[in-house]
Structure 1
Amino acid sequence: MPASEKRLVVTSDDFGLSPQVNEAVERAHRDGILTAASLMVSAPAAADAVARARALPSLRVGLHLVMVEAWPTLPASELPDLTDGAGLMRADQARLGLDLALRSGARRQLAAEIRAQFEAFRATGLPLDHVNAHKHFHVHPIIAGMVLAIGRDYGMRAIRVPRESRDTLRLAEPGAKPGLALDTAPWAALLGARARRSGVLTPDRVLGLAWSGAMTPARVAGLLRHLPDGLTELYLHPATAGGFPGEALGYAYAAELDALVAPESRSALAASGARLGGFSDFLNDRHRSLT
């Protein structure tokens, strides 16, 4: 594999969150540039997502681990340190991260929940293309260790490392002054190093962090026109409409769907010369580059 070759995975997060998200994933894969989706195994429309994925064998599906602000897989009664009064995973992400460092019970509960989500994904019968996490919580060092250890038991071969090149964003949108998308850059670097030591494939960069929820057709086309060499993951949150439980306030879901099917995105992708696929499609490339 030439070192300069461009490879691209285009992912939708929150697959299974709602029928509107699932409809958008199907449309963006059939008619657009979407190649992969990350499944929330216990979200309200997860069964519908799995049915659609089975009818779309070329769609690569991964596990979108939920450890904050959404539906757990285990009963909330088994996760007293991790869930709130409504039975959802706690939304106070920073405090939860501290509790994981200080409380062994919280760590045991989270390990059990992570394993339950891997088990639920296995039960779908879908090949596991990749793993990432809601709100990128897997960059937390304690959680990262759990995911890498437990994922090994379920054949995890690729994981998202949320690091984004601000230079690429400025090229895509001249004059843009994108701020830091996450306060996790050092933890993301640590996750990447640990994943590589474990033999797990990671993208060289992830696009979609700073403009999460605002990936317009113009922005996506601009990113594709300036796609760097190497393995890039471009991720979005498409939906046919908003108004569903669990939606993120202010997210332009329909615009992100438009970006995935827009002719300008398809043209920019073709002009880039990038190879398109899921993470599993590029595993052999990695192996060849190491020999």
Structure 2
Amino acid sequence: MVNEPAFEEAVSLARSHPRLGVGLHLSLLCGRAALDPSEIPGLANASGGFTENPVAAGMRYFFLPHLREQLRKEIRAQFARFKESGLPLDHVNGHLHMHLHPTVFRILQDEIAAFRFNRMRLTRDPLLLNLRIAGGFYAYRLSHALIFGYLSGRARSWLQRNKVLHTERVFGLLQNGRVDEDYVLRLLQALPSGDSELYSHPSVDEFRNEFEALISPRVLASVREHGIELIRYQDL
């Protein structure tokens, strides 16, 4: 998220770990804008913040045509800021997967030559597999599987035609905030062949369970036991 206060620190850390694949996490809601709010008055408030309401944002971006050029300008600004970091662009995704929103995705289609990306997260978390290895939150899981299954299916053919690579599946969408050690261990045992992405939101406070899963010796042992290769998008 190139708009946030910790961006420069994150870039510094990434430079010290050159094998790390760093993607652009487009932020068009629940965060700060790259541009001055006077340039995108329909997107950001006076202090430069986007709306915190994902449903309202999605509806406005779809039904209000005058916002499209403001979205284009903001997306261009975020790509430009990432480019200024000097880091290689591993892939593109979006906060709350907004990169798959029809209006936003259309802008990415139009700007692919300028933005020069060739890898993108296609957020398809297999529902049946998730139901086998996790419980609870059934309404959330079903709704998100349907919504993002549709949006990903809609985007997939264009990505293939334009040689934009993606993993075959993405895990984490249906387990938001609950990608803990037990879930990851069950997932590794049931992981289908082919390439997959696992994403989470590790932190030392709100999502400490997800942080601990990523540094778990048991998880590392399972990865090695199952012969799983850890890769970046650029390795696809």
What displacement does 1:70 show? 0.5
172 and 268 in structure 1: CA distance in 2 versus 1, 3 angstrom threshold: farther
Structure 2 counterpart of 1:125: 86
Structure 2 counterpart of 1:140: 101
Give the alignment's TM-score, normalised by structure 1: 0.75
Give the counterpart of 1:159 among 97, 101, 120. 120
What displacement does 1:263 show? 1.3
Taking the aligned partners of 2:200 and 2:68, their CA distance within structure 1 comes to: 30
1:35-184 to 2 correspondences below 5 Å: 40-173=1-134, 178=138, 179-180=141-142, 182=144, 183-184=147-148
The answer to whether structure 1 residue 275 and structure 2 residue 229 are counterparts is yes
Taking the aligned partners of 1:279 and 1:146, their CA distance within structure 2 comes to: 22
Give the counterpart of 1:189 among 145, 153, 164. 153
**Greater fraction helix:** 2
Taking the aligned partners of 2:61 and 2:3, their CA distance within structure 1 comes to: 22
Taking the aligned partners of 1:52 and 1:87, their CA distance within structure 2 comes to: 26
Taking the aligned partners of 2:79 and 2:71, their CA distance within structure 1 comes to: 12
Alpha-carbon contact 1:169-1:176 (below 8 Å) kept: no
Alpha-carbon contact 1:81-1:106 (below 8 Å) kept: yes
- Comparing both chains, which one has the higher relative contact order based on Cα–Cα distances under 8 Å and sequence gaps of 6 or more? 1
Q: What is the root-mean-square deviation of aligned Cα atoms in Å?
A: 1.7
Taking the aligned partners of 2:193 and 2:143, their CA distance within structure 1 comes to: 22
Alpha-carbon contact 1:71-1:88 (below 8 Å) kept: yes
Aligned-pair identity in percent equals 32
Per-residue CA distance 1:171-220 (angstroms, 9 max, x = gap): 434x6674226233211211222212221001111100111111111101
Q: Which moved more, 1:63-72 or 1:95-104?
A: 95-104
Taking the aligned partners of 1:114 and 1:181, their CA distance within structure 2 comes to: 27
SS at match of 1:64: strand
**Alignment-mate amino acid for residue 235 of structure 1:** Y
Taking the aligned partners of 1:99 and 1:171, their CA distance within structure 2 comes to: 36
**Alignment-mate amino acid for residue 112 of structure 1:** K
Give the alignment's TM-score, normalised by structure 2: 0.92
**Greater fraction strand:** 1
**Alignment-mate amino acid for residue 88 of structure 2:** P
Alpha-carbon contact 2:37-2:46 (below 8 Å) kept: no
Per-residue CA distance 1:238-271 (angstroms, 9 max, x = gap): 11224xxxxxxxxxx1110100011111122112
Per-residue CA distance 1:9-65 (angstroms, 9 max, x = gap): xxxxxxxxxxxxxxxxxxxxxxxxxxxxxxx11111000000000000111101000
Taking the aligned partners of 1:181 and 1:232, their CA distance within structure 2 comes to: 21
Unaligned runs of 5+ in 2: none
SS at match of 1:210: helix
Alpha-carbon contact 1:63-1:118 (below 8 Å) kept: yes
What displacement does 1:99 show? 2.6
94 and 117 in structure 1: CA distance in 2 versus 1, 3 angstrom threshold: same
